[in-house]
Amino acid sequence: ERLVESVADREDQAVEAALRPKDLGEFIGQEKVREQLDLVLRAARARGATADHVLLSGAPGLGKTTLSMIIAAEMGAPIRITSGPAIQHAGDLAAILSSLQEGEVLFLDEIHRMSRPAEEMLYMAMEDFRVDVIVGKGPGATAIPLELPPFTLVGATTRAGLLPPPLRDRFGFTAHMEFYEPGELERVVHRSASLLDVEIDADGAAEIAGRSRGTPRIANRLLRRVRDYAQVKTDGRITKDVAAAALAVYEVDARGLDRLDRAVLEALLKLFGGGPVGLSTLAVAVGEERETVEEVAEPFLVREGLLARTPRGRVATPAAWTHLGLTPPRPQAP
């Protein structure tokens, strides 16, 4: 099981919930998003209105669910959480929409993965707070209009570009979440450590932050694994050395690469001389699904400048050779 991207186990989910910032003030980093959202919410509150629909885009674990909960809390509204893949039929969406209370926040994670008919129903619901429920089939089918109470849709997606423009345009406010700076992640680690009642020094927090791929969820997860190690092997206090030793056990290296990331790089370098090699070939070489390599390992490797996606295939950069302690082959004469 992968440490950094694996589906959190039950205990992890409970801890994750406990570590969520409860209001904008507690939310670390993302200065611009926080400032803009604060204005949107304050203005809506002052008007006594329901907040505009909000689209949050960004990689997993950057705080989209957390922000949606904060939006509900700041508006004093209840929240309903669902996701695009959970909505198979337009009827599923109609059932959810028609049961919303006035002002309720509907968080729709992975909104780009909703079915087409549901998406079309959502257009009307967002714009006119109305849906047409289709009753019957074939020529006898009739559309029964249904009024909805005003609500705030908070949509989340990994990339805003994945949404069809008509859907994207119906959001009053779009926030793009960036990866976090090391200093911000250190604050996340310190905050979580204190909530978990774990003692950690500045270097220990920096060590964990540096391996967290710019992602608070990963920072929190690594912190919990380092805490386990510290409890069993030392006096429970997390220092730089304890963090480094613990993360070595979990095969998370100094740059935050885990076993799969390194397997991909190693195959690329050792079997294919650094590429170019096709994605499918590379995936077979590491014994993983194409999608896993493409969606789980590659984005981070690309972002770290270790791998490039080219029209001819995947290519390792010089930094990849250095990172794995290998010597690149000598460039061939043209």
Question: Which residues of this chain interact with ligand ADP, rule CB under 6 A?
Answer: 16, 19-21, 27-30, 60-66, 188, 216-217, 220
C-alpha–C-alpha distance, residues 227 and 123, integer Å: 46
- Closest distance between ligand ADP and the C-beta of residue 17, in Å? 7
Token pair belonging to 161 = 């570009």
Return phi, psi of residue 122, to 5°: -65, -35
Burial class of 74 by CB neighbour count within 10 A (0 to 12, 13 to 18, 19+): buried
Q: Is 221 a catalytic residue?
A: no
Q: Which residues are annotated as a binding site?
A: 19-20, 61, 64-66, 127-129, 170, 180, 217, 290, 309, 314
Question: Which amino acid, one-letter code, is at 115?
Answer: S
- Closest distance between ligand ADP and the C-beta of residue 312, in Å? 33
Residue nearest to ligand ADP (CB): 63
- Nearer Cβ to ligand ADP, position 28 or 40? 28
Contact 215, 62 (CB under 8 A): yes
- Closest distance between ligand ADP and the C-beta of residue 326, in Å? 34
Q: Which residues are annotated as a binding site for Mg(2+)?
A: 65
- Closest distance between ligand ADP and the C-beta of residue 72, in Å? 13
- Nearer Cβ to ligand ADP, position 20 or 259? 20
Q: What is the DSSP string of 180-237?
A: PPHHHHHHHHHHHHHHTT--B-HHHHHHHHHTSTT-HHHHHHHHHHHHHHHHHHSSS-
Q: Is 65 a catalytic residue?
A: yes
Which residue is catalytic, options 50, 64, 221, 239?
A: 64
- Nearer Cβ to ligand ADP, position 226 or 285? 226
- Nearer Cβ to ligand ADP, position 62 or 282? 62
C-alpha–C-alpha distance, residues 276 and 243, integer Å: 36
Which residue is catalytic, options 168, 211, 217, 227?
A: 217
Q: Is 50 a catalytic residue?
A: no
Q: Which residues are annotated as a binding site for ATP?
A: 19-20, 61, 64-66, 127-129, 170, 180, 217
- Closest distance between ligand ADP and the C-beta of residue 112, in Å? 14
Which residue is catalytic, options 12, 80, 82, 158?
A: 158
User: What are all long-range contacts of 145-150, with beta carbons under 8 Å and residues at least 24 apart?
Assistant: 146/94, 146/98, 148/97, 148/98, 148/100, 149/100, 149/101, 149/102, 149/103, 149/104, 150/49, 150/50, 150/102, 150/103
Return phi, psi of residue 141, to 5°: -65, 140
Contact 168, 174 (CB under 8 A): yes
- Closest distance between ligand ADP and the C-beta of residue 67, in Å? 7
- Nearer Cβ to ligand ADP, position 64 or 225? 64
User: In a 3-state reduction of DSSP, which class is residue 266?
Assistant: helix
- Nearer Cβ to ligand ADP, position 123 or 173? 173
C-alpha–C-alpha distance, residues 313 and 230, integer Å: 42
Which residue is catalytic, options 50, 109, 191, 258?
A: 109
Q: In degrees, to the nearest 5, what angle opens at C-alpha 18 toward C-alphas 177 and 28?
A: 35
What is the set of active-site residues?
64-65, 109, 158, 217
